[in-house]
Amino acid sequence: MMNQKNNQNHKRDYYEVLGVARQASEEEIKKAYRKMALQFHPDRNPGDKEAEERFKEAAEAYEVLHDPQKRDLYNRFGHEGLQSSGFSGFRGFDDIFSNFSDIFEDFFGFGRRGGQRSGPRPQEGDDLRYDLKVTFMEAAKGKEMEISVPRLEACEECQGTGMEPGTQPEICPTCQGRGQVIQSQGFFRISSTCPSCYGQGRINTHPCRGCQGQGRIEKTKTLNLKIPPGISNGSRLRFRGQGEAGMYGGPAGDLYVVVYVEEHDFFHREGDDVLCAIPISMTQAALGTELEVPTLNGNKKLSLTKGTQHGQIYKFKGEGFPHVRGSGKGDQLIRVEVKIPTHLNKKQEELLRQFEALEKKKGDSKLFKIFS
């Protein structure tokens, strides 16, 4: 409470702010405010903080002095009297332009900052999301495709205005174009959005028959889409201006395509590397062999050295996914899995026992030394 009183004490006298006498008429107050608003308007003083504060200060003074109830309260009790009635000034420029839209139209020919008051304020369209599923190989190679996106587009008949061609919106009779309605309860004045025009200040009395006054109609848009090679699961592709159309001439939103990559039966991806596992027999591991291994670009020969161990990794350099950002590719890593036979016939079992005996005679097998 003490801080609020201090703030009130630092405020300048409203008559001094507008440069008028205490007995000034309503017309003199309006004329003084018009002069200050023209001088300190933010569009005429871009980036000038002092001008912005003077503009807000003048608006607050005019709000009090042009209203008979507020002026009488201020004359008797000053700033503290206004504070006790619930008046706290304006929140910002939009609040000022909204409350004084009719005044600014008389002054400058526009109601809101930087635009003609010919209708509702433009609104940007919503962004859209499209989930796209691609195969593992499509993600690796890239693909061009068409997608169909349902979205709201500007009505061609009214060009997105929502009004029948040749007609104009009319001033809302409820709020007189302010977009706000004010109710007085004793010393309190409560401002709320106009229930008739929803804060726009204008009413569409001749809605377009094509879109029922909405300004947009739902259509399905076919878009050409290029999936870049190497795209990863969960990637988002942004297409500017391909979302839903804006309202009242506002810009369209964006379209976000979220890519989901299906899993592969043989390949697995880690970063831009491709992993796979190949089974070999214990004799192939011991003696070495040459195999045909699938890659993203077809089969490729892999030579296994003698004594290949279970879990050993071989590499095909540059056979992985392309780098989406930059040149080059990842690698393909092949993990060898040695399969031990579980069902041996008598001949196989006899040969393995002979092999075991020979290993023991060599005397240099670390494995047999450990368990002997």
What are 57-89's pLDDT values in tens digits? 888 888 888 888 888 888 888 888 777 666 666
Query: Any alpha helices (H) in 242-372, and if so which ranges?
Result: 282-287, 346-362, 366-371
CB distance 334 to 302 below 8 Å: yes
CB distance 174 to 181 below 8 Å: yes
Q: Which residue has the tokens 């706000």?
A: 180
Q: For 257-315, write each residue's pLDDT tens digit.
A: 999 999 999 999 999 999 999 999 999 999 999 999 999 999 999 999 999 999 999 99
Higher pLDDT, 22 or 362: 22
> Would residue 355 be called left, alpha or beta, if left means φ above 0 and alpha means ψ between -120 and 50 degrees?
alpha
CB distance 132 to 144 below 8 Å: no
Q: For 308-340, write each residue's pLDDT tens digit.
A: 999 999 999 999 999 998 889 999 999 999 999
Does the pTM surpass 0.85? The reply is no
Alpha-carbon span 46 to 342, nearest angstrom: 84
Distances (CA, A) of 52 to 55, 92, 214, 297: 5, 10, 37, 65
User: In degrees, to the nearest 5, what angle opens at C-alpha 114 toward C-alphas 108 and 117?
Assistant: 65
